[in-house]
Each structure stands twice: as structure tokens, then as C-alpha cells.
Structure 1
């Protein structure tokens, strides 16, 4: 009897060992699956490279500067060894400097082909976003909507007082960007029909343009949507169409441009890693709209360097 009990005990013990071993194998497999699943679902750090290091210098359009600065800040937070400097100066400067190799990335809100002095065939275009832009005025002018013809008359000096358009009896002060500005080129092409603005105040930076408009009674200039983040300036409707992302994506509002980041040849090393990060969902679907830009993938229309606009196929 004792022998039978001993044999039964030994059999039960053996079964218990087998069960525990099988259970341990299952737990190990589950842990491995979780780890693998984590790597399949790419995190921000994975998208940014995590261990990227080195220095990049970016210059160019002030319209794109807030986006590139925010992207650079996030990227450097994920990559302690990376140092990215984002400078303004206008699209022309950015294109010239990336072409001559003095910066790594040239930011522009015009195509390189639009600048005759730029060797566009040597540059590679990375369209990191779309920006809408339009006329912005001091909130006290008494006008909220203008026609295309009225806007041209304002900027060519044919209309000099807001009372001529039903507004306050205040002289109009024009605030322009310099000839090298991509924002100016886009505004002239798609808001003014190619008409050159009359003389006025000229400033290199969109930040300064916004400040002057907000502080100068009767002032009007032009800004990217990303600068409409408070009520210090008033964006004018154009032909009754509001300056909104949706109206840009559908093509109803015509004053918009791609945000180009150009490299001299195909990007390599840190430049490639950073630009890949700028096209990741973490940037395109979060930072881009938060800062007032439009992801390129949201566009229902597209535009070429000649200004031809067509529906996205």
C-alpha cells in the first residue's frame, strides 16, 4: 500500500513539473511578443532615430520657421547628441545658402525654380507642409472682407483710405516683405494677380510684420495662417472666402504655398534622419496642424512650379 502511495505521489509530482515548465514557456513567449509588438509599433524615438547626433543649420522662410523650430526642438529632445539651429532670413536667402553649401537645409515657401539665380536642378525638394496666407489688417480698420480687385487697388496704391471701402476714415499703411521673401512672392502671384505692391514699410520677418500691423492704425500686410494665433491682427476674407485650412485643401481659397525644405543633393546622415522625422505622423498629424499649417497629404489640389493648380489624382 505504501508502495502504491509512493508511486502515485511520484506520478503527480512529475505531472506538476511538466505543467509548470509549459506554463513558464508560455509566459516567456508572451513577454517576447510584447517586446516585439513594441518595436513594430514605432515610437517617436524610433522615428527620430534615437541616437542621432551632429549639427544642422537651417535657414530661409520665416513662414515655415515656427514649424521647423518646433520639429527641431522635439527632435533634439529625442536625440541628445543633435544640435539643430533654425534661422529665418527669407526664402531667397535659404535657397541661396543651401545652394552654396553654407547651410544644410534651405527652407522656402516658393519653388526653387521660381528663383532665376538658384540652380534648382541641383537641389532636392522635400514638401514638409502647406501654408495658407493672406491679407491681415489692424483690427480697427472697419473692413472684414475685400474683393480681389479691391485688394489689388489697396496694394498698388489706388485706394489709400479705408473709408473708400466702407471702413474707418484711416489712411492705409502698407507693410510688405522684401523681394527675396517667398511669402511676398506667393501673395503677389495668387492674391494680387502678379501686380507689384506700392512702396510701404518693408520688413524681413513675419513676426515683425505682425507686430507692426497690430500696433499701427490702418495697417495691412500679409501673413501665413500660422501667425493668426491671437486677436492682435484680423485676417481679411477674400472674395467672401475665409482664410481657413479647409478652404485651402479644397482649392476654394487660392493663396497658399508648399513649405519646401531643400537639400543640396539627396540628404544623408543627420539631415536625412531629421527630414524623415518631419514627415512622420508624430509631426504631420500633431505638430503641423497645432501650429496652423496643413499636412501635404490633406491637400485635394496640387500646384506645380508654374502655378498650375490641379486636383489630386
Structure 2
């Protein structure tokens, strides 16, 4: 009887030990799973029009995921498409469809993370806030050389352009200048530098994304075209023509970390807050759409 009791107690102890060990094992696994976080490095580069939004989103994403490092570079849309195609960038930013730059779009995956409006930026001493489309073309093609010829002050016009690989330039040339080629002037790789030169040079005119026209900053004038202001209401309705999708391209399907960041870019948190706060427009708000040929239609 005593042996049977001891045997029963031994079996109970063994069973208890198995249950305890099993519970410990399960707890450790759960803890490991719950403590898992994203880690690694992402390199993003290309469009300087998209750069401010990408940089802000990257900053917020890294704050949520301390193990992640995101390097956001400029360089222009051409560089973004070239470098992501060659595998040097995890994400290539572009104001243009890949097809518009002659890049093999079949090898890339396109994420439209927003819409950017663009217009001319003018030095305040030029004395103009609005130009007709025809006068704007005359200014940029060098047919008009003084602002007094188009209703401004007696100040010499200085052109500030982006280089050929710039998506901002391609968009402005196509939709503001009807495809005409600007005359030679000062050429700068960065939108920030374009803004600085226009602000500091009497009579200067360049062009940039609306995200660079910040509230309370009167260093440059945001030009209206044909009396239509460059703003969200007019762009989403299709009334203001100078706008482009902001693309983030990956080479094939993105790796999990890159996909997580792209999902964040398309999340409601970014699209409803960061996008408008940074001067961009959510693609979902557009009443019109464009294809790679630049043809616009209603949604």
C-alpha cells in the first residue's frame, strides 16, 4: 500500500514537472515572439520632389522601429530609376513612370504613394504672381528677357532649371510649357538649391514641387497659371495641369523590411496626415488620373 502511494506521488511529481517545463517553454517562445522587431537597412533615393515626404515617413518609421535604418537620398528621378534597376537602391523614387524614362518597367514594381503639384517659383522682385501659359513659355524659352514685358517690374529674368534627368523638370516642361525646351540658364541638381537661388536672385524664376512652398515663407512667389492657383483643390479637380504621381519603385517583389516600409507609406497614418502636412496629395483624392503617356482622364 505504501509502495503504491509512493509510486502515485512519483508519477504526480513527474507529471507536474512536465507541465511546468512545458509552460516555461511556451512562455519563452511567446516572449521571444512578442519581442521580435524589424531590423536592417533600407536605401531610398531619387526624386527630390518626393524626398521631404519620404524623409519624414522614414523618420517616423524608424522611431517606431529602432532597429531599422533608412537612408533617404536625392539625385533626381532618373537616378532613382537607374539605381533601383541596378540594385543599388532598395526603393527608387520618381515623379515619372518608368516607361517615360525608357526604363524596363516589367522588372520593377510600382507603388504610387502620392501626387505632387508643381509650379513656377519667382523671386518677389519680379513683380508677378500670375502668368498666362503663353507668357510662361516665352519666359522659359528666352523670348522674353525682362519682367516688364509680361506685366512685371523692370528686372532682368534669370532662369533656374533642373537637369535633364529630373522628373520635376520633365513634368514642368510637359505640362506647363507644352513640351517646349527651356532656354539655357542656371542648372541645379537639387530643388532646395533651386529655391535658394530663386530667393536670392532678383528676377529669378525656377520651378518646384508645392511641398517646397511653405506657409509663412515669402522668399519666393508661387506662380498661378492662366489665373488658376496651384493648390490641392484645383489639382484634384483637374483644373491645374502641372502635377505628377509620386512613385516608389522596387526591383521585383520587395524584401519583407522594404515591404513593411512601403505598407507604412500607403497606410492611413501617412496618407491622411503626413501627406497633406508635407504639401502632397493622396492619390485617392484625385478626381482625374494619368497614364504613362501623360493622357489625363476622369476616374
TM > 0.5: yes
Deviation at residue 99 of structure 1 after TM alignment: 0.1
Q: Is 1:50–1:78's contact at 8 Å kept on the other side of the alignment?
A: no
> Which one of the candidate residues 234, 255, 271 is aligned to 2:242?
255
Secondary structure of residue in 1 paired with 2:154: coil
Residue pair 2:125, 2:155 contacting (<8 A) in 1 also: no
How far apart are 1:231 and its partner, in Å? 1.2
Q: Deviations over 1:50-85 (max 9, x none)?
A: 821110000100000000000000000000110000
Matches of 1:139 and 1:227, distance apart in 2: 16
**Structure 1 residue ranges (4+ consecutive) displaced by more than 6 angstroms after TM superposition:** none
Deviation at 1:233, TM superposition (A): 0.5
Once the two structures are superposed, residues 80-133 of structure 1 have per-residue CA deviations (whole angstroms, 9 ceiling, x without a partner) of 1100000000000000000000110000001100012x2221111100000000
Structure 2 distance, partners of 1:193, 1:143, is 21
Does the alignment pair 1:170 with 2:155? yes
Output the TM-score relative to the length of structure 1. Answer: 0.83
Name the residue aligned to 1:128. Answer: 113
Unaligned runs of 5+ in 1: 1-48
Corresponding position: 1:64 with 2:50: yes
Q: Decide which of 131, 153, 163 is 1:146's aligned counterpart.
A: 131
d(CA) in 2 for partners of 1:166, 1:79: 53
TM-score by length of structure 2 reads: 0.87
Deviation at 1:268, TM superposition (A): 2.3
Deviation (angstroms), 1:288? 0.4
In the alignment, the residues of structure 2 paired with residue 298 and residue 72 of structure 1 have an alpha-carbon distance, to the nearest angstrom, of 23
The answer on whether the counterparts of 1:50 and 1:79 sit within 8 Å (CA) in structure 2 is: no
* Contact 1:131 1:257 survives alignment (8 Å): yes
Which residue in the other structure is 2:69 paired with? 83
Paired positions, count: 263
- 8 Å contact kept, 1:147–1:238: yes
Alignment counterpart, residue 278 of structure 2, candidates 291, 296, 309: 291
d(CA) in 1 for partners of 2:66, 2:165: 35
Tell me the equivalent position of 1:37: none
Take 1:253 and 1:68, find their aligned partners in 2: how far apart are those partners? Answer: 24
CA distance in 2, matches of 1:275, 1:162: 44
Distance 1:106 1:222 in 2: 22
1:235 Cα offset (Å): 0.8
Correspondence 1:44-55 to 2 at 5 A: 51-55=37-41
CA distances 1:228-286 after superposition (whole Å, capped 9, x unpaired): 00211101110000010110000000000000000001212111000000000110000
Structure 2 equivalent of residue 305 of structure 1: 292
RMSD: 1.0
